Amino acid sequence: MSSTTDKIKGAANELVGKAKQGIGDATGNDKMKADGAAQELKGKTQSTVGDAKDTVKSATDKL
């Protein structure tokens, strides 16, 4: 996957995860809150991977 794809998928997962957590809070559904937190964390991880790929590409371009 490209760094841009990782960042886009990461942002989408973070957004959906936050929405799930909000719905879980509103409905008292602890499972949905937990699923949302896990999905948000997955998104943050994907975004971090995208940033790391950019950093490596930038460093290798300088060589």
Q: In the chain, what are the helix, strand and coil shares in percent, each to the nearest 5?
A: 90, 0, 10
Domain membership flag for residue 45: yes
The total number of structural domains that make up the chain: 1
pTM for the structure as a whole: 0.87
Q: What is the extent of the structural domain holding 25?
A: 3-55
pLDDT at 36: 98
Domain membership flag for residue 24: yes
pLDDT at 49: 96
Domain membership flag for residue 62: no
Domain membership flag for residue 63: no
pLDDT at 62: 86
List pLDDT tens digits, range 12-63: 999 999 999 999 999 999 999 999 999 999 999 999 999 999 999 999 998 8
Domain membership flag for residue 40: yes
pLDDT at 40: 98
CA geometry: angle 41, 59, 57, nearest 5 deg = 55
pLDDT at 1: 80
Domain membership flag for residue 13: yes
Q: Which sign, positive or negative, has the C-alpha torsion 49, 22, 37, 31? A: negative
- Give alpha helix (H) positions in the chain: 3-27, 30-62
